[in-house]
Amino acid sequence: MEKQPKRIIVTGAASGIGRAIALSLAQQGHWVAAADLKAPQATVDAIVTQGGRALAIAADVTDGAQVRAMVAACIDALGGLEGLVNNAGMYSSIVPRPFEQIDLQQWRQLFEVNVFGLVTCCQAVVPHMKAAGGGRIVNIISGTPFRGIPFMLHYVASKGAVLGITRSLARELGSAKILVNGVAPGFTLSEGVMDNPVQLEKLREISKNARSLARDQVPADVVGAVDFFMSEGSAFITGQTLLVDGGAHFH
C-alpha cells in the first residue's frame, strides 16, 4: 500500500475494466474519482463499503466543459489530483465488418471518444499536475494495434493513435515529472462485450486460442498493471505500454 494516497480520476468507471481499476486502486489506498456518462455511484458505493474514499462524477469525455468540471470536482472533493486513468472508450458496441463497410461517420464518432476524449482529459489534468510537481497518466490502449486485428480498422486506428500519444506525451511531460504509460488489454469479457453476441462469436475463441495462457480474459486481469504504473515501483518508467493479454503477443 502507498504511504501517501494519490487522488486519481478513472474515466469509464461504471462497469467493466474501468470499474475493476477503480476498485483496485481504492484497495491500494488511493482516493478515486470515478467518472462515467452517468455518475457511477455503484462503483463508489462498493469502494466506500470496503473502507475506501471515492467520488462519483457524471462526465462525457467528449465535452470539454464537462471534463473541466470533472477535474474541478475531484480537486474540490478530494483535495488534489495526482493521477488519471483514461479508460473511457467505445469498443463493446462495435460490430466487426469489412473495412469498406465502415463509413467515415463511424470513424469520426469512435475517434471523438477514444482519441479526442482522451486528449481532452489530459489537457484538463496536466496544468494541475504541473502545479503539484508531477503526476501519473495511464492510458488504456488495446492489444489490437500490435496484432493488426482485421474488421475493426477504425477501432484499431484509434488505439494506435493513443499508443503514439502515450509515447510522445511522455517525452513532452517528463520535465514536469508527469509519467505517461499505457496498458493494452487483450479481448476482455466485460459486461458490454458479453452483451455483444457478434463479438463473442467472432473473437472469443480465436483470442483465447492465441494466448500462451489459454483462457478467457476478465477485467480483473488488467488492474495489476494499472496499480503498478500508479505505484512508487514505477517511478522511473514512462512512455511504455504493457500488454496484458495472456501472452498472445510479445512486445
Q: How far apart are CA 187 and CA 149, in angstroms?
A: 11
C-alpha cell at 215: 483462457
Give domain status of residue 238, yes or no.
yes
pLDDT at 201: 76
Give domain status of residue 51, yes or no.
yes
Q: How far apart are CA 72 and CA 32, in angstroms?
A: 14
pLDDT at 204: 77
Total domains present in the chain: 1
C-alpha cell at 246: 495472456
Give domain status of residue 151, yes or no.
yes
Whole-model pTM over 0.85: yes
Residues sharing a CB contact under 8 Å with residue 11, sequence separation 6 or more, in sequence order:
18, 35, 36, 59, 61, 84, 85, 86, 87, 88, 117, 121
pLDDT at 1: 45
pLDDT at 207: 81
Give domain status of residue 126, yes or no.
yes
The domain in which residue 26 lies consists of: 7-243
C-alpha cell at 129: 499536475
C-alpha cell at 44: 463508489
C-alpha cell at 200: 463473442
Residues taking part in catalysis: 155
Q: How far apart are CA 54 and CA 25, in angstroms?
A: 10
Q: Is 219 left (phi over 0), alpha (psi -120 to 50) or beta?
A: alpha
Instruction: Choose among 78, 103, 209, 190: nearest CA to 154.
Output: 103
Mean pLDDT per 10-residue run, the chain (251 residues)? 83 97 98 97 98 98 98 98 97 88 96 98 98 98 92 96 98 98 90 74 79 90 98 98 92 80
Instruction: Choose among 19, 65, 70, 68: nearest CA to 46.
Output: 19
Q: How far apart are CA 241 and CA 142, in angstroms?
A: 10
Give domain status of residue 249, yes or no.
no
User: Which CATH number covers residue 97?
Assistant: 3.40.50.720
pLDDT at 210: 86
Q: Is 97 left (phi over 0), alpha (psi -120 to 50) or beta?
A: beta
pLDDT at 2: 45
Give domain status of residue 98, yes or no.
yes
Cα 10 versus chain centre, distance:
7
Instruction: Please identify which residue in the block is written with the cell numbers 517528463.
Output: 174
pLDDT at 28: 97
